[in-house]
Structure 1
């Protein structure tokens, strides 16, 4: 199966790979499996990661994710996709090796009806279309082992309900949109995520400048554990030119305590530069203010990513996180990730 099909299954509403220089390497990689003439395809990805943090456990080695993706495309208007992920399937620490932390998570389970490019209907469980990172979060397709703080818990990463999405031909490159509603409980909710109780949201993305895509996000929602009404506003962008990349996201969330108040906010800016044909330098700055926190957190990250193949990534990074109250927290991470 071509790499492009699996990448489209991983992130159907976004560019298939973070590095546009790799986008043409699609055929002959043996990624994914077509199940006869049934129209079903099977693929996935895996990530193993190492982390060492000052002042805590000396190191941790884990099978962070083992994800299986089954999708069906019969060539007509109907499509189906399911993604099942095993998180922390194996954890190794000094003096301890365990599989007790293994957690199965249903990431996605949805049916799509494609009326045309302008609109498609999606029903089921899908990735919440807020910002860029949440839609291209699969480890082989990202530049770093860690994900930005503003994308971790400011909003639920999955939603169960209905979404209408497509491309409107109102500009030269079109305007991508996703309008979604989540009316109730999440399908097979993960235990450690404060899921949507109800949600309504919109994301728009378009290219206003050469080699650059801009996006805006809006969501109004309640969550199961924190039923106060929240409203989230987000901006994101990505500029890519000759294997260089600059991207970022900004989000802030208000919470209704009788009157709207800023509850949580943050942003990140990430730069990628090629050092050789397959080796890239990565740098990221983050600022994050968590709900009810007294101080902002700043994180500075520098790393290297080696891609011997488009479907294979080796990453190493050093991050320093500072807080006026807590001082400094240094972390070293490394990972290997592969699409299959």
Structure 2
């Protein structure tokens, strides 16, 4: 128990007091390998374990010729009494392990376990890169967060891209709160209309371990300027056995008051026939980034139906 708390304190102190607050990670001398990591911790007013380390993660990457390696392992949901995911045994979770090869004509082939190239939110899986601590309903309920298989990406024009992904095997990662599948096919198109405006189209189907087949379709858009950002996504989901999520979407605005201070407003609505719930979620948040690799966030979330109204506070740091 004591060594676990000492490890956490050491990581926090070394991360926050690093000499260069704008950089993170270390290169192993005479190798192409870089090692870094991040820590996410939250305080929720209505959770039994109010303070929790959501993620303590190790990141490693390497680049050599046409090859790129990216890996991420983590300990999740670690409480102050030393429990991880409710257990005394510390479980190491594999989030990502992928190898990419750059082909000719702006083509990339990736194999391993990678983030599903679906929607906007799923492309920034680390809390410090996001504007809120809590995530929209679509992230864990519409499509698999990760895919274990092969992915092909093709650049089109100056900035557009087409992505195809296929999984036909078991997930090599640990079973987490996301949808766990052994089949997944996805197609996504990313388009850029101007320097500030972009859009995404996503579609796919998957099979969960228990044998249910599901299809999904989604569209999203993002406007991002120096003073203001607006992001919206809308998805539908259909199961073979009839029950579905007829709609799930959100619209989120971010005002950049200064380089360090942002305010966030998110309006979300969804209908879930499995849970027999149709509700509206409202979020009001604030983000303070004293430097690039450190973020403090606070938000209030209001649910129109479920008893989940609460305050959430978090800090995130990369090292």
* Length-normalised TM-score, structure 2: 0.87
1:192 CA drift (Å): 4.7
CA RMSD between the two structures: 1.9
On the 8 A contact 2:261/2:288 being kept in 1, the answer is: yes
The answer to whether residue 52 in structure 2 is matched with residue 73 in structure 1 is no
Describe how 1:158-197 pairs up with structure 2 within 5 A: 158-169=146-157, 173-190=158-175, 192-197=177-182
Alpha-carbon distance in 1 for matches of 2:165, 2:258: 41
Which residue number in structure 2 is paired with residue 118 of structure 1?
Answer: 106
Alpha-carbon distance in 2 for matches of 1:87, 1:42: 19
SS in structure 2 of the partner of residue 232 of structure 1: strand
Describe how 1:86-97 pairs up with structure 2 within 5 A: 86-89=75-78, 91-92=79-80, 97=81
1:166 CA drift (Å): 3.3
SS in structure 2 of the partner of residue 329 of structure 1: coil
Alpha-carbon distance in 1 for matches of 2:176, 2:203: 25
> Can you list the C-alpha shifts for 1:251-309, whole angstroms capped at 9, x where unaligned?
1111113xx66445300110000233311111101112224232312110001000111
Which residue number in structure 1 is paired with residue 290 of structure 2?
Answer: 308
The answer to whether residue 137 in structure 2 is matched with residue 149 in structure 1 is yes
Alpha-carbon distance in 1 for matches of 2:135, 2:21: 30
Pairs aligned (count): 296
1:202 CA drift (Å): 0.7
* Length-normalised TM-score, structure 1: 0.82
Q: Which runs of 5+ in 1 are unaligned?
A: 1-26
1:193 CA drift (Å): 4.3
Alpha-carbon distance in 1 for matches of 2:105, 2:297: 36
1:28 CA drift (Å): 7.4
Select the residue among 187, 200, 212 that pairs with 2:197: 212
Select the residue among 285, 310, 313 that pairs with 2:267: 285
Q: Which runs of 4+ in 1 moved over 3 A?
A: 191-194, 260-264
Select the residue among 215, 220, 224 that pairs with 1:236: 220
The answer to whether residue 247 in structure 2 is matched with residue 265 in structure 1 is yes
